[in-house]
Each structure stands twice: as structure tokens, then as C-alpha cells.
Amino acid sequence: MTTDVQAFAAKIAMLAEIFKPAAPTDDQRLFRGRRDQLARLLTVAGAPGQHAIIFGERGVGKTSVSYMLRDTYLTMAPDTTVCIRLACTAEDDFVSLWRKLPGRLTREIGLAANPHLSELLTTEVIDRVEDAFLDEPTPDAVAQVLGMLADKARLMIIIDELDRMDVLAAGAKLADLVKQISDDIVPCTLILVGVADNVSDLIAGHASVDRCLMPVSMPRMTHAELTEVVEEGFAAYSERSGVPITITENSAASIATLSEGFPYYTHLLASAVGRTAIADSRESIEFTDVFDALMVAKDEAEPSIREAYYNATIAARSDATFEETLIACAVAESDRMGFFTASDVCDPLAFILGIPRKNSDFNAHLKRFSTNTPIVLLAKTSTKTPRYRFVNPLMRPYAMMCGLSSGILKRDFLAEIR
């Protein structure tokens, strides 16, 4: 007999399988949008000498799209395809990155439900890879190894979190590698993935790869797509658990609004609101439940964001209004690139504080946010009027969530934005 606690734990676990802010999704059903990106990536995967770079903001869904690509690519020829994912860390350089390859190959073959793969990539083949990398792997040596592997299997290598590496040093070597395997038409597809405003940040100044490296930009997701992520997620939960949870249209829409295009926040908020519903044995989620979930969700946001917010807003004096100013920045109108000026902050700050505000009343706050580490706002002071932008775009929705949960922002504010 299952106890109440076990039944509760089972439901929470089921929800955690659906809404998982910390993990990329590889669930075909819950994956929304991104058709253009997948089409481009699949075109690249089928074209000899072509490779791709997926780039966009953190939390926008880059790793997830690379998982979808991998799954689709594998399904086309499961018996002969090897798809390896190498994730970079801050300690990695070109050499240490490629030295991960033999281990990954071994794991991939061990994992494969498919015995054909281990016939293609035998332990001798993997030993040869390891031997080839005993000396520091150069772009040349890596190209040869990839050529050798690609003779045996359809090969795709996904290099994720590229921005964590020292891009200046590793970027040039990666560019050399891309160029080389492209010129030699080695039948291996390289997919690079990283955070960057534009591709040039990642493979800076390597014009020679322009033609063989297709840029695939990942914009933020639309409000409609994020609303569907919430609705479809709860529909999947209801089916899998046999216990229905419905979410009202405006609750799903308000989660999408608060997410500002980042599926990361959609998963974080939907997970929080869902857990509360399960804990209270409720079968429906209403608009007000979203606000109650904000408190939970903001405490579970990425630690780096929480710490940066805390450090920016902590004050020795109780009459300091750093938090109000930061929240006003988060809701201030910004241009297409996310920049705003002090004048853009005046109205929302006056609204929040209920008193008129001039730039001079809070310029010192903007200075603090843009100079004290960890820096929250990037200041562009080259023009007469300084412009500001959140260093981490995930901070904007986070500050808004903090504002709504603490009451600094009134609840009806959510209905007014967008």
C-alpha cells in the first residue's frame, strides 16, 4: 500500500521530470518552437564541409535545441551514428577539451542500446584516439582523429558552453579545426554552442570560417510559446499522474509574461506553482497562485543572480532605496539591445515610491550598480547621456519577481506590462 507521503513524493517527482529549470529538455512533447533553428541545423548536418554555431543568451534554450538536433540526427540512422557532446569548463583549453573525447566515446558506446555501434567503434579504435592525443592535440591532430572516426560512423560533435573557455586562446584553434575539416571535407559535423551577443565574440576575427560555419541565433521565446510550455507541461503531468491539474489561461499567460522570453524562468515558475498545488491537493491553478509561487521561485533562482541582487540592494540604512531603484530599472523601458537611461527609470521609480523623482535623486544608485562588484548594470558612458543595461539579462525578470513578491511592485502591475 502506498502511503500519503509516497504518493505525494511520486507526484512531485513526476512534476520535476516535466518542469526542470536546471536541465535542458530532451522531451519532444514539451519542446516548443525552434523549428527554424532545427531546420537550419539539420541542413548543416547533412551538408559536407558545413558546421554550425548556436549562440544566444544564457537560459534561452541553446543546449535544449542541441539535444533535439542530436536526437533527430540519431533517429535518422541509429545503427551508424555517433553523437558526442563535450561541455567546456572554465579550466578547459583546446587541449583539455579534446582529451575528453576518448572517455566520451567509451561512454557513448557503453550506453548505446545498439550493439552495432560497438562493432564500428571498437576499443582498439578508441585506444588509437587516446594515443593520438598523448601529445598535446593540435587542430591538425584532432582533424585526423575525426577523419579516422568519421570513416567508421556518421559523426556529430557538439561542443557546449564554449563561452566558459578562454575564448581568445581556444577560439583561434577551434576556427583552425573547423577550417581544416571543412577543407578536407571530413564527414563530421561540428556544432559549437555558446553565449555571445554575436558570433564574432566567440570565433573572433577568424574570417576564414565564415563560409563553413553557419550561425544559428537563438532569440528569446515568444509569449505564445512560453504559455504553451506551461499549458502543455500541466497537460502532460495530468496524463502521466492520472491526477488532473488545470491552469487558468491568465495564470499561464502571467508566467509567460514574467519569463520575458526565457524558458528557464517559465520552468522555474511553473514548477513552483505546480508543487504548491500538489501540496495543497488542488486541481486547479489560479492567477493568485502565481504570486504565491514567486517567493518559492525566486529563492530557487540561480545562486549567482540571487547573490548579485542581494549585494546590489543591501543597505546599512533602512531609508536607502536601492532595491526600489533596481526594480525600477528592471521595469524601465529599454531599447532593442536592452539599454535604458536614467530618465527611463524616473517614472517607474516615482510610481513605486509614490513620490516624484528626478535623475539626481538616484544617479548614485546607478553608479553603485554599475561599479560595485559583482556589477549588475553595464554602463555605456561614451555618449552624453549614459546608458545602462543589465549585465546578466536574467536579472531583469528576477528583479521583477522580487518586486512582486515583496509588494514593492503592485500585483496589478503585471497586467499592465506587455
Ligand X SMILES: Nc1ncnc2c1ncn2[C@@H]1O[C@H](COP(=O)(O)OP(=O)(O)O)[C@@H](O)[C@H]1O
How far apart are alpha carbons 26 and 408 in whole angstroms?
37
Among positions 65-104, residues that touch Mg ion (CB under 5 A) are none
How far apart are alpha carbons 220 and 76 in whole angstroms?
29
Residue, CB closest to Mg ion:
63
Q: Binders of ligand X: how many residues, by CB under 6 A?
A: 20
Give the interface segment with ligand X, choosing from 61-69, 105-113, 304-312, 334-342 (CB under 6 A): 61-69
Give the interface segment with ligand X, choosing from 59-67, 172-180, 296-304, 316-324 (CB under 6 A): 59-67
In the set 63, 66, 251, 271, which binds Mg ion (CB under 5 A)? Answer: 63
In the set 171, 263, 348, 397, which binds ligand X (CB under 6 A)? Answer: 263
8 Å CB contact between 40 and 52? yes
Find the shortest distance in angstroms from Cβ 26 to ligand X.
Answer: 9
Residue, CB closest to ligand X:
61
Q: What are phi and psi of 283, to 5 degrees?
A: -105, 0
Give the CB-side neighbour count of residue 71, counting CA atoms within 13 A. 12
Closer residue to ligand X in complex, CB, 137/263: 263
CB atoms within 10 A of CB 48: 10
**Alpha-carbon separation of residue 174 from 84, 93, 139, 218 (angstroms):** 16, 10, 7, 21
Cell numbers representing residue 93 in the block: 583549453
8 Å CB contact between 266 and 237? no
**CB-count burial class (<10 Å; 0-12, 13-18, 19+) for 32:** buried
Q: What are phi and psi of 26, to 5 degrees?
A: -125, 20
Query: Quick check: helix, strand or coil at residue 213?
Result: strand
Q: Which does 370 bind (CB under 5 to 8 A by kind): Mg ion, ligand X, none?
A: none
Among positions 265-294, residues that touch ligand X (CB under 6 A) are 267
Closer residue to Mg ion in complex, CB, 259/325: 259
Find the shortest distance in angstroms from Cβ 394 to ligand X.
Answer: 9
Q: Is residue 31 a contact residue for ligand X (CB under 6 A)?
A: yes
Give the interface segment with ligand X, choosing from 10-18, 131-139, 261-269, 305-313 (CB under 6 A): 261-269
Give the interface segment with ligand X, choosing from 16-24, 150-158, 164-172, 322-330 (CB under 6 A): 16-24
Q: Is residue 234 a contact residue for ligand X (CB under 6 A)?
A: no
The residue behind cell 552624453 is 384
Residues that bind ligand X (CB under 6 A): 20-21, 24-25, 30-34, 58-64, 229, 263-264, 267
